[in-house]
Chains A and B, each alone.
Chain A
Amino acid sequence: MSDRIREKLNILADAAKYDVSCSSSGGTRKNDNKGVGNSHTSGICHTYTEDGRCVSLLKILLTNHCIYDCLFCVSRKSNDVKRAAFTVDEVVELTMNFYRRNYIEGLFLSSGIFKNADFTMERLLLVCKKLRLEQRYNGYIHLKMIPGASDELIKEAGLYADRMSINLEMPTEAGLKLLAPEKSHADVIKPLGFVQQNIVQFAEDKKLIKHVPKFVPAGQSTQMVIGATPESDKDIMYTANAFYKNFALKRVYYSGYVPISNDSRMPILGTQPPLLRENRLYQTDWLMRFYGFKVQELLNDANPNLDVDIDPKLSWAIRNMQHFPVDINKADYRMILRIPGIGVMSAQKIVQARKFGKLRIDQLKKIGVSYNRAKHFITCADSPYQLKDYQGTQIKAFIMAESQSKYLKTDSNQMILF
């Protein structure tokens, strides 16, 4: 018995790992029925795999049998891999036992599509109901929506799950059509829109009625595979921006394509996943969500791709030197946030602390400002007087000379003597 369950877990965890969503934050569920589990507002990462990604949820497929043949997916119909399927009780059992030992923060349940969408969605829903109703489990549940499942099933699932998601897969419709002719962005937009409407509706009801059940309290998310098709960074981030706006998504995940197929339409096996590009996209995503940048400022027709050698915030600053230097002791909070080397926490501390007196360099350093980077863009109480006005390109060279990027193995500023 234990050998069979081990084999199943290996197959179905392996097939689920390309879904990068790991967050367990944003939930509001309390353990008020003396059961087990609750939500932690910021989420908890219980461990990290050797590739440095966090493990917060037990991320598994119910089955990797699938009727679709999407080229970018390991579980595609034509791929020669071992297939397996969990029973509903096996998933419940695993989740409860892992949770009780503090291994995990909850369950992330997805599935290949067997028979049809509704048949699959029903099974996923059954797992959630058993956990919530029979086991009195109040931990986190992230449920994947199955494209094409009926509205009734999705709505019912929303009553038990904390977060729901469905993947865009490719940043543009054209890219998706190339690799998965049976799928379209419309299949994703419909359920995202449906759930969003319901979230709004439940929130409206809550204003009038005291006890409204929770409906997807941690919101929705989606994921795009990058580097499998030839979209520019601009295409990717404009799509992400539109989805953040239209569906109030909590997160868009960018997953660097890990080659898993020999098809000539995709990068060949053995190609390194585009980790640096992925990193830059996440940085841009953060700038949009927490730093008040508009996507058009960071990526536009003149700059359709992000710089590889420097981060997008520094890159923006260098292109827009007319805004700098910024006076730390006078400038608006929003402008302080835009200074390279200053993050959200430091910016908040600066605006609080400057009420008590003009800030000096040593104080900025203690507050947590990365001064070597910020010094090119700020003035404060004891900034050294500077006659020369440096160009953006010069500042970039200064910063590059003293920073050691983990991605740049060879220092491009090193002169060659022989």
Chain B
Amino acid sequence: MTYIFDGSLPGLLTAVFEWFERKPGKVTLKSIEIFQPEAFAECFTVTTNSEKADRVWAGLQKKLKKDWLRKFYCSYLSEIPEAFNHLFQFTTYIFQNEKGAESNYGNEHVIALAKYAKSVEREKHRMEAFIRFQHTADGIFYTGIDPDFNVLPLISNHFKNRYADQQWIIYDLKRKYGLHYNLNTVEEITISFTEGVNKQKPAAVLMDAKEELYAVLWKDYFKSANIVARKNTKLHVQHVPRRYWKYLTEKL
């Protein structure tokens, strides 16, 4: 049997609730986006219900420690279709077993979540490392990114704590929303770009007068820090995969 949900986190949690209410046996969870009706399989559409979702989440909080709740959330943010099903199966597995069942790394859903979480945390860490702000004339530090996973919710606190005395915007160009820190709080924003504009960085006229200088100095520094006799391109690309080069001032 297939359960279909709307792709939201509350939707996923509601699906777990519905399964326990009906106990229909083996079920696969799919999001509506990728669902293709099959001729002989039964399916059931889950209607997202925030009360039911909250109850499931509260239950999970009782069963799992913080680190595993985070792994759960990270796996959800991966947006990978199979991850939704693993999350569903993992949750039913956790509820049906004694506390501590999440350390059973022999279980395929446990190990799957550990892996998704690792990928998402790696992408989050890369964004913390590879984001390069451009200082605009109106004093805001801006960057546009398109991460593999939806990591903005995970990096928000890091940037808020670190750059507490400067306004910044980090915009996810793929998912079309961004974060703006206004010196007090971080707010979610959407920008309507003009057609054909470079979304990654502001136009030269909008840039702070010193921006160009520091970009050049940084490029110089990057070149000077390299030891030519030790050249190792394979290792270099392994650490900074090519798809991130477009973010990096020093690689442009």
Distance in Å: Cβ of A30 to nearest Cβ of chain B = 8
Residues on the B chain within 8 Å of A159, using CB: none
A412 at the interface (CB under 8 A from B): no
- The segment from A95-103, A207-215, A393-401 found at the interface with B is A95-103
Q: How far is the CA of A353 from the CA of B108 in the complex (A)?
A: 12
B240 at the interface (CB under 8 A from A): yes
Q: For B133, give the chain A residue with the smallest CB separation.
A: A101
B231 at the interface (CB under 8 A from A): yes
B130 at the interface (CB under 8 A from A): yes
Q: How far is the CA of A36 from the CA of B108 in the complex (A)?
A: 43
Interface size on A, residues (CB 8 A): 59
Q: Is B165's CB under 8 angstroms from A356's CB? A: no
Question: With A49-B226, A97-B210 in contact, do A9 and B220 touch (Cβ < 8 Å)?
Answer: yes
A352 at the interface (CB under 8 A from B): yes
B62 at the interface (CB under 8 A from A): no
A268 at the interface (CB under 8 A from B): no
Q: Is A102's CB under 8 angstroms from B225's CB? A: no
B34 at the interface (CB under 8 A from A): no
Partner among B108, B213, B230 whose Cβ is within 8 Å of the Cβ of A366: B108
Q: Is A48's CB under 8 angstroms from B236's CB? A: yes
* Per-residue contact bits, chain A 30-56, to B (CB 8 Å; 1 contact, 0 not): 110011111010001111111111110
Partner among B163, B216, B225 whose Cβ is within 8 Å of the Cβ of A49: B225
Partner among B105, B131, B226, B236 whose Cβ is within 8 Å of the Cβ of A353: B105
Q: How far is the CA of A359 from the CA of B114 in the complex (A)?
A: 18
A6 at the interface (CB under 8 A from B): yes
Q: For B105, give the chain A residue with the smallest CB separation.
A: A353
Residues on the B chain within 8 Å of A354, using CB: 106
Partner among A36, A45, A58, A275 whose Cβ is within 8 Å of the Cβ of B129: A45
Q: Is A54's CB under 8 angstroms from B239's CB? A: yes
Q: Is A100's CB under 8 angstroms from B111's CB? A: no
Interface size on B, residues (CB 8 A): 56
Partner among A45, A49, A136 whose Cβ is within 8 Å of the Cβ of B236: A49
B135 at the interface (CB under 8 A from A): yes
Q: Is A34's CB under 8 angstroms from B164's CB? A: yes
Q: How far is the CA of A53 from the CA of B238 in the complex (A)?
A: 11
B125 at the interface (CB under 8 A from A): yes
Q: Is A258's CB under 8 angstroms from B229's CB? A: yes
A17 at the interface (CB under 8 A from B): yes
Residues on the A chain within 8 Å of B141, using CB: 100-101
Distance in Å: Cβ of A346 to nearest Cβ of chain B = 9
Distance in Å: Cβ of A273 to nearest Cβ of chain B = 6
* Per-residue contact bits, chain A 256-276, to B (CB 8 Å; 1 contact, 0 not): 101100000000000011010
Q: How far is the CA of A38 from the CA of B228 in the complex (A)?
A: 32
Interface residues of B (CB under 8 A from A): 101, 103-108, 111, 114, 125, 128-135, 141, 143, 158, 161-166, 210, 213-214, 216-218, 220-236, 238-240, 248-250
With A38-B162, A273-B229 given, name 17 new contacts (CB 8 A): A2-B216, A6-B216, A9-B220, A13-B225, A14-B224, A45-B239, A47-B129, A51-B228, A52-B233, A55-B225, A58-B221, A100-B141, A100-B163, A100-B166, A101-B135, A352-B103, A354-B106
Interface residues of A (CB under 8 A from B): 2, 5-6, 9-10, 13-14, 17-18, 30-31, 34-38, 40, 44-55, 58-59, 94, 97-98, 100-103, 136, 256, 258-259, 272-273, 275, 349-350, 352-357, 359-360, 363, 366-367, 406
